[in-house]
């Protein structure tokens, strides 16, 4: 069960396009009524090989009973060019029960290729992203507004030494109860090839507040082994809590 991979799709919507000194987010994961883990994401400006980048780091970890059953402790990192919002480097460090996977990928955007520690050099489509960077790229290029207007978005993503197309669909609006009161939300479905993460191609729904903040406040998933719900618990910029009850 690739829990962290799915949470990654949710969390990266919330960070600002241009990283603050330090942004931090935390989500609580629930399997039915059981609190089963948390996911955290940080973003900050950082130099990589003397070049300025935005460094995103996501960690997903199970807790309690769920940790005893599934034991997930995954880390995903992405270094993004602040001008194009395309990845320069990505890192994936997966620990799920006895399964281990570690890889680093360097992105050569000028020559449409990537270099993976696992598989070496590989040709990829233009503007290829990793699983973390893809949403920042979409937001920067105003794809989100196009999606709300009814346009369907397809972006190539390189992940786990494989290439797939991330398809985003807008499903409408819905008002839900959240930690900061009742909120009108956009409902968005990031769709991936059936069987990779979910039971079906459209079993992930993300609820994004329909206001200037556009916070991904809640998400629900239908997984092959059950259902998972995620609730935004903390959102800090420079250590200051940005979630205010209304």
Long-range contacts: 158-163, Cβ < 8 Å, 24+?
158/105, 158/107, 158/114, 158/124, 158/128, 158/129, 158/130, 159/5, 159/92, 159/130, 159/131, 160/92, 160/101, 160/103, 161/103, 161/116, 161/118, 161/119, 163/124, 163/125, 163/128
The full 3-state SS of 28-80, as one line of letters, equals EEEECCEEEEEEEEEEEEEEECCEEEEEEEEEEEECHHHHHHCCEEEEEEEEE
CATH of domain 3-241: 2.40.360
Where in the chain are the domains? 3-241
Please tell me the predicted confidence (pLDDT) of residue 65: 81
Whether 58 contacts 41, CB under 8 Å:
yes
What's the mean pLDDT in 78-82?
93
Could you tell me the pLDDT band of residue 17, with boundaries at 50, 70 and 90?
Answer: very low
* C-alpha–C-alpha distance, residues 154 and 120, integer Å: 26
pLDDT interval class at 180 (50, 70, 90):
confident
Token pair listed for 201: 């191609």
Sign of the CA dihedral with 130 first, then 135, 138, and 139 last:
negative
pLDDT in tens, 32-77: 778 888 888 888 899 999 999 999 888 888 888 878 877 888 898 9
User: Which of 95, 158, 152, 149 lies closest to 123 in space, CA to CA?
Assistant: 158
Tokens of 87: 């990845």
**Cut 0.85: pTM above it:** no
Give residue 33's region: left, alpha or beta (phi > 0; psi -120 to 50). Answer: alpha
């Amino acid at each position: 069960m690739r829990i962290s991979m799915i949470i990654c799709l949710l969390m990266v919507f919330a960070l600002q396009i241009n990283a603050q000194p330090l942004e931090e987010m935390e989500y609580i994961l629930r399997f039915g009524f059981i609190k089963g883990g948390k996911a955290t994401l940080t973003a900050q400006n950082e130099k990589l090989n003397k070049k300025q980048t935005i460094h995103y780091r996501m960690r997903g970890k199970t807790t309690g009973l769920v940790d005893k059953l599934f034991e997930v402790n995954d880390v995903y990192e992405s270094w993004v060019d602040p001008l194009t919002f395309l990845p320069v480097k990505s890192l994936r460090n997966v620990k799920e029960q006895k399964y281990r996977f570690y890889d680093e990928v360097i992105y050569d955007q000028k020559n449409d290729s990537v270099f993976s520690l696992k598989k070496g050099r590989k040709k990829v489509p233009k503007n290829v992203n990793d699983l973390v960077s893809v949403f920042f790229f979409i937001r920067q290029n105003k794809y989100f507004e196009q999606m709300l207007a009814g346009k369907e978005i397809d972006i190539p993503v390189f992940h786990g030494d494989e290439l797939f197309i991330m398809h985003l669909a807008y499903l409408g609006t819905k008002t839900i109860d959240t930690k900061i009161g009742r909120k009108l939300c956009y409902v968005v479905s990031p769709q991936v090839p059936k069987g990779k993460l979910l039971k079906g191609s459209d079993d992930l729904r993300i609820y994004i507040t329909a206001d200037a903040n556009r916070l991904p406040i809640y998400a629900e998933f239908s997984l092959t082994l059950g259902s998972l719900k995620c609730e935004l618990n903390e959102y800090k910029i420079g250590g200051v809590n940005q979630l205010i009850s209304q």
